[in-house]
Amino acid sequence: MALDQVAVAIWLEFSRGELPGRFALSRKFFFAPVLPYLRLKLRYGLMANNSKNSTANAPQRGEFIATVVAQQPFGTEYRYLLLELIGRGGGVFAGAKAGQFVQLACRSLEEVRSSGPLLRRPLSIAGISDKGQAIRLEIIYQVRGPGTKWLAQCSAGDTINLLGPLGNGFTIPKDSQKPAILIGGGVGLPPMFFLADQLAKLQFKKVTAFAGGRTKNHFEGIVDSSISPSKQPLRSRSILEQFKRSNTGCVIATDDGSLGFHGNVVGALDNFLESQSGWDQAQLYACGPEGMLKAIAQLAQRRNMDCQVCMEAYMACGIGICQSCVVAVRDRRSAASSKSVDDKKQYKLVCTNGPVFDAKTIIWEQTNNHQ
**What's the confidence (pLDDT) of residue 113?**
58
pLDDT at 236 over 80: yes
Distance CA 96, CA 85 (A): 13
What DSSP designation does 279 have?
Answer: -
223 vs 93, more confident: 93
DSSP state of 174: S
- Give me the helix-helix angle, 2-16 and 35-49, nearest 10°: 120
**Where exactly are the structural domains of the chain?**
2-166, 170-310, 315-371
Residues paired with residue 349 on neighbouring β-strands, in sequence order: 326
pLDDT at 272: 95
Q: Is 359 left (phi over 0), alpha (psi -120 to 50) or beta?
A: alpha
Report yes or no: 345 and 365 within 8 Å, Cβ to Cβ: no
Phi, psi values for residue 159, rounded to 5°: -115, 145
Query: What Å distances lie between residue 369 and 130, 153, 312, 327, CA to CA?
Result: 37, 30, 10, 9
- List, in sequence order, every residue forming a beta bridge with 211; answer none if it has no partner: 184, 252
What was the pLDDT predicted at 343?
57
Within 13 Å, how many C-alpha atoms sit on residue 116's CB side? 12
Distance between CA atoms of residues 197 and 128, nearest Å: 9
Choose which CATH entry (3.10.20.30, 2.40.30.10, 1.10.10.10, 3.40.50.720) describes domain 2-166. Answer: 2.40.30.10
pLDDT at residue 313 in the model: 83
pLDDT attached to residue 174 = 93
Rounded Cα–Cα distance for residues 100 and 283 (Å): 19
Per-residue pLDDT, 187: 85
What percent of the chain shows pLDDT beyond 90? 51
Strand bridging mode 307-310 / 326-330:
unpaired
Ranking 18-27, 81-90, 238-247 by mean pLDDT, the lowest is 18-27
The predicted structure's pLDDT at residue 229? 66
pLDDT at 226: 75
- When pLDDT is cut at 50, 70 and 90, the band that residue 333 belongs to is low
The strand ranges marked E within the chain are: 62-74, 78-86, 101-104, 121-130, 134-142, 159-166, 180-185, 207-213, 249-254, 261-262, 283-287, 307-310, 326-330, 345-349, 356-358
Look at residue 160 and tell me whether its pLDDT is greater than 60.
Answer: yes
Question: SS3 helix, strand, coil % of the chain, rounded to 5?
Answer: 30, 25, 40
Q: For residue range 46-73, what is the model confidence (pLDDT) as tens digits?
A: 544 444 444 445 557 889 999 999 999 9
- pLDDT band for 129, please (50, 70, 90 cuts): very high
- The domain made up of 170-310 has a fold known as Rossmann fold (3.40.50)
Taking the C-alpha atoms of residue 183 and residue 65, their distance in angstroms, rounded to an integer, is 32
The sign of the dihedral angle between the CA atoms of 233, 215, 223, 102 is negative
The predicted-structure confidence for 167-205, as pLDDT tens digits, reads as follows 999 999 999 999 999 999 988 999 999 999 999 999 999
